[in-house]
Homo-oligomer: A and B are copies of this chain.
Amino acid sequence: MTNQQLIERRRKALGPAYSHFYDKPLHLVKGQGVWMWDDQGKRYLDCYNNVASVGHCHPHVVEALCGQARTLNTHTRYLHENVVGFAETLASKMPGELSVCMPVCTGTEANDLAVQIARVATGRHGCIVAEHSYHGNSTLVHDLSTSERFGDPDPDWLATVEPPDTYRGPFREGENDLGAKYAGLVSKSIQKLEARGHQLAVFMVESAWENQGIMQAPQDYLNHAAAFVRDAGGLVVADEVQSGYCRMGAHWWGFKHYDIIPDIVTLGKPMGNGHPLGAVVTTPAIVEKFAERYEYFNTFGGNPVSAAVGQAVIEVIDNENLLANATEVGAYLEGQLQELADRYDMIGELRGRGLFWGLDLVSDPDTREPISKEELRRITTDAAKQGTLVATMGRYGNVMKIRPPLVFSRDNVDHLINALDTVFARAN
């Protein structure tokens, strides 16, 4: 069967709502560490994957999955040590009072549950998210995902806020008090909600601002913003689906880079190295209020197999020192990407931390006019032809997303930089 035939079967079987990466869709059949192989045996360096975060098919994770799947898979209405041990291990990575873990199956489920908990705990309904946000795909979380709006009006209980984009936003690098200025916009959004009769329950923040094209916020932005949120009686929900699990280097969590402790943390993608696993982590005080009114049960969430997988992923991160690797290889990657940025006018700005970087591509470095998303898609398709997988993000679809597994090495960085050098030279 040709790939064209598979694409046609796929369109019929899954329907037309699914898209492909790259102009020529890849048919991948094998993964190992940072490498993937297509159906022709061609090898690709995976520089875009925070799902297979400890490396494709990591043997310790696969062994944990298979061992438990052979023994027992059941739900949380029976006692089982796996889910308790996993929740305790996860909590041990969290700061402050964040000691209660509620396992779910996806990041969407985590964000949806977090809002439910926050609304019950605060007795309020209003939410604030960043412009061009993406937090998942349930009905509620779709409402919180303003990048997916396509002309639908925002719900009345939602206010948006400009992300701290110091490259193209209303306040830019070089100005004074950038953190306070961007946090002031959060305060204004709270007032907008209140003027519409909605008290604030949730300020949901993704501290990598991935969907917006990665932001490095002014250092004091989140502390200022959190103060406004808490003064108004709301809770800070950190969506760490993208920025968590050592992704940004130096710390386990993205929010730690800004020295805040959220009230609720949501987790997804990298937790199970591909196995469907997510979680809400919060404080005993907050969850007590929720539990006064509601029980929570998730048929698959926290089953012994998923818990074994979650535990194994954390063990790999600890045993292989992947936080240190993300920090050290991340620093090398930053340096190499900066050199590339210095050589190509098309790279308007390099932003990121650890093993999560964005190259903001522009047609004119002075006006900062973004290249078209079609142009970036041509570039990422060309990189895939070179055997290097990168992706796209950002409000204008012009930011190249580089987000390799945590086991990425300096050699892998060199391979990536060579490939990017080739494709940028061709694109210029």
A residues in contact (CB < 8 Å) with B? 3, 6-7, 9-10, 12-21, 25-31, 36, 51-52, 56-57, 62, 65-66, 69-81, 83-84, 87-88, 91, 99-103, 105-109, 112-113, 115-116, 137-140, 142, 148, 150, 268-269, 272-276, 282, 284, 287-288, 290-291, 293-303, 305-306
CB proximity of A55 to chain B, nearest CB, Å: 11
Contact among B6, B16, B138 for A112, CB-based, below 8 A: B138
Q: Which residues of B sit under 8 angstroms from A302, Cβ to Cβ?
A: 14
- Measured between beta carbons, the chain B residues less than 8 angstroms from A115 are 139
Alpha-carbon separation in the docked complex, A265 to B175 (Å): 55
**Do the beta carbons of A13 and B87 come within 8 Å of each other?**
yes
Q: Which of A83, A84, A100, A297 has the largest count of B CB atoms less than 10 A from its CB? A: A84
Counted per complex, copies of this chain come to 2
Q: For the A-B complex with A13-B91, A17-B287, A105-B276 known, give 8 more contacts whose Cβ atoms are closer than 8 Å.
A: A6-B81, A14-B102, A18-B296, A28-B79, A51-B299, A57-B73, A65-B66, A69-B274
Is the pair B109, A21 in contact by a Cβ cutoff of 8 Å?
no
Tell me whether B31 and A74 are in contact (CB under 8 A): yes
Assuming the A-B contacts A66-B62, A78-B21, are A72 and B57 also in contact, with contact meaning beta carbons closer than 8 angstroms in the complex? yes
Partner of A291, one of B17, B74, B103, B150: B17
Partner of A13 from the list B100, B137, B275 (CB cut-off 8 Å) is B100
Shortest A224–chain B CB gap in Å is 29
Which among B99, B105, B298 is the interface contact of A300 at CB below 8 angstroms?
B105
Could you say which of A15, A26, A36, A287 has the most chain B C-beta atoms within 10 Å of its C-beta? A15
Is the beta-carbon distance between B83 and A298 smaller than 8 angstroms? no
- In angstroms, Cα B274 to Cα A290, docked, is 27
Indicate whether A300 sits within 8 Å of B276 (C-beta atoms), given known contacts A72-B57, A74-B36.
yes
Q: Taking A9-B88, A78-B26 as contacts, is the C-beta distance between A16 and B69 under 8 angstroms?
A: no
Question: In the complex the two chains form, is A56's CB within 8 Å of B72's CB?
Answer: yes
Rank and list the top 4 A-B pairs by shortest CB-CB distance, nearest first. Answer: A73-B274, A13-B87, A139-B140, A276-B300
The docked-state distance in angstroms from the alpha carbon of A75 to that of B273 is 12
Cβ contact of A27, chosen from B6, B10, B27, B79, cutoff 8 A: B79
Q: What distance in Å separates the Cβ of A422 from its nearest Cβ neighbour in chain B? A: 22
The smallest C-beta distance from A254 to any residue of chain B, in angstroms, reads 18
Asked if A75 and B51 make an inter-chain contact with CB atoms under 8 angstroms apart, the answer reads: yes
Residues of B within 8 A of A6 (CB): 79, 81, 84
**Least Cβ distance of A246 to chain B in Å?**
18
Q: Give Cα A203–Cα B28 distance, bound, in whole angstroms.
A: 40
CA distance A201 to B108 in the complex (A): 24
With A3-B79, A13-B91: A71-B101 Cβ-Cβ less than 8 Å:
no
Cross-chain contact B80 with A69 (CB below 8 angstroms):
no
A268 → chain B closest CB, angstroms: 7
Residue of B nearest to A1 (CB): B81
Which residue on chain B has the smallest CB distance to residue A296? B17
Partner of A290, one of B10, B17, B74, B273: B17
In the complex, are the beta carbons of B297 and A19 less than 8 A apart?
Answer: yes
